[in-house]
Amino acid sequence: MAKKATNHESLLKTQEVYGYLTSGHSRGNIVRTLSAQWNCSERQVDNYIAKARTMLEEDAAMARPAWLAEALGRLRNYEVAAAKRGQLQVAVNSVQTQAKLIGFEL
């Protein structure tokens, strides 16, 4: 019988399952892969899947203003990085996308 995972190990496993779910893996694929990798039962992997799905629901419940702020932040980072690399069209595209998100038309 495998030893019980610590809280930290459990969180890491849940985050790994989260990654599999967001990448489109099926439950069956996740169970087969991780039960072998972690030497644990199908039931335990299902517990990690349930926890990861709860995390997904919490992420999806993000309010529109919060999502918009995060998206604008990412686009600003892309704009700066593109400008530093001399990819001016990418930087311009980022600015245009930011403008569309906040309702400005260029």
Task: List the Cα angle 81/82/87 in 5-degree steps.
Answer: 155
Task: List the Cα angle 63/64/69 in 5-degree steps.
Answer: 105
pTM (2 d.p.): 0.63
Cα gap 2→39, rounded to integer Å: 7
pLDDT tens digits for range 28-58: 999 999 999 999 999 999 999 999 999 999 9
Does residue 1 register a pLDDT over 80?
A: no
- 69 and 99 Cβ atoms separated by less than 8 Å: no
Task: Give residue limits of the domains in the chain.
Answer: 7-60, 64-102
Cα gap 45→30, rounded to integer Å: 8
Q: Which residue has the tokens 């190990």?
A: 9
